Amino acid sequence: VILFRTIAETREHVAAARERGLTVGLVPTMGALHEGHGVLLRHAREETGYVVATIFVNPTQFNRPDDFQKYPRDLETDLAFCERLGVDAVFAPDVNEMYPGDLHQKMPLASVEVAGVSARLEGEFRPGHFRGVATVVAKLFNIVQADRAYFGEKDAQQLAVIQRMVADLNFSVTIVPVPTVREPDGLAMSSRNQRLTPEQRRIAPVIYKALCEAERSIQGALGMIAAAPEIQVEYFEAVDPKTFEPVEKMAGPVRIVAAVRLGDVRLIDNVLVSIR
């Protein structure tokens, strides 16, 4: 795997791959790679000829400075992970490369805001988060110019925001959603899981159990979470899978989404259910 630190060298190598007739797959990440990313990279490897992973802990999408500071970073381990999966190139810029001269600001002067689908849930609990995500993803799309870009369904609202951005702004990349990867006990893989204490880690699988129970009974699901007082719920809702608006009645495809806190670690998860 080759490591690129600059936009210019990334562009140059991707253009050369394209000239060799290869299609380009992009897997944007913030590093601390785990098997969830592994599945994204494997899909990209199977479906495209030149795979670029990006590793950038994007400051503009963090609404809490402590979350940004404590976000796990380990480039050496991530590069070895990418190497094992046959990734061609890793683009890991520093903040100056991505936001030159904008360091004193929270956001570049030009940014992407996807109204509607960004408004609620993550958008409400993490003000500015989706503007940061949409803007950095738009920049990565313009830098890498991939044919296909892979995103995990664990961040289902992020995926919906990006799909809407691509549709509304006519990006030519195809967005490929990839199912959530879970630990054997059901906990969705997340880089933030590293920050759970052993006791919090023992409790965390109740989030997925409750999401599964919610298909039958929201009351029952909330009861399961209430039985674990260490868990504070930010939201637990049934929403339309495209708009992320609350559903009027539990019918058709519905996404049950949850965000909780375990101590100072915030975890999100969701399941897609089809209710008859």
Among 53, 89, 98, 137, binds ligand PAF (CB under 6 A): 137
Of 89 and 133, the one with the shorter C-beta distance to ligand PAF is: 133
Residue 28 in contact with ligand PAF, rule: CB under 6 A: yes
Shortest approach of ligand PAF to residue 172 CB, angstroms?
18
Q: Which amino acid is at 210?
A: A
Residue 210 in contact with ligand PAF, rule: CB under 6 A: no
Residue, CB closest to ligand PAF: 28
Annotated active-site residue 129? The verdict is no
- Please write down the HEC assignment for all residues of the chain: CEEECCHHHHHHHHHHHHHCCCCEEEEEECCCCCHHHHHHHHHHHHHCCEEEEEECCCHHHCCCHHHHHHCCCCHHHHHHHHHHCCCCEEECCCHHHHCCCCCCCCCCCCCCCCCCCCCCCHHHHCCCHHHHHHHHHHHHHHHHCCCEEEEEHHHHHHHHHHHHHHHHCCCCCEEEEECCCECCCCCECCHHHHHCCHHHHHHCCHHHHHHHHHCCCHHHHHHHHHCCCCEEEEEEEEECCCCCCECCCCCEEEEEEEEEEECCEEEEEEEEEEEC
Shortest approach of ligand PAF to residue 215 CB, angstroms?
26
Shortest approach of ligand PAF to residue 28 CB, angstroms?
4
Q: Which stretch binds ligand PAF (CB under 6 A): 96-104, 133-141, 217-225, 253-261?
A: 133-141
Residue 58 in contact with ligand PAF, rule: CB under 6 A: yes
Shortest approach of ligand PAF to residue 213 CB, angstroms?
27
Catalytic residue (choose from 13, 34, 37, 43): 37
Residue 133 in contact with ligand PAF, rule: CB under 6 A: yes
Contacts of 80 (CB under 8 A, 6+ apart): none
Residue 29 in contact with ligand PAF, rule: CB under 6 A: yes
Residues 149-168 as x/- pattern, contact with ligand PAF by CB under 6 A? ------x--x----------
Of 156 and 256, the one with the shorter C-beta distance to ligand PAF is: 156
Among 44, 87, 92, 136, binds ligand PAF (CB under 6 A): 136
Residue 161: how many CB atoms within 10 A of its CB? 26
Residue 60 in contact with ligand PAF, rule: CB under 6 A: no
Contacts of 8 (CB under 8 A, 6+ apart): none
Applying the rule CB under 6 A, the residues between 77 and 106 that interact with ligand PAF are: none
Of 190 and 200, the one with the shorter C-beta distance to ligand PAF is: 190
Q: List, by residue number, the catalytic residues.
A: 37
Residues at the interface with ligand PAF (CB under 6 A): 28-30, 58, 61, 133, 136-137, 155, 158
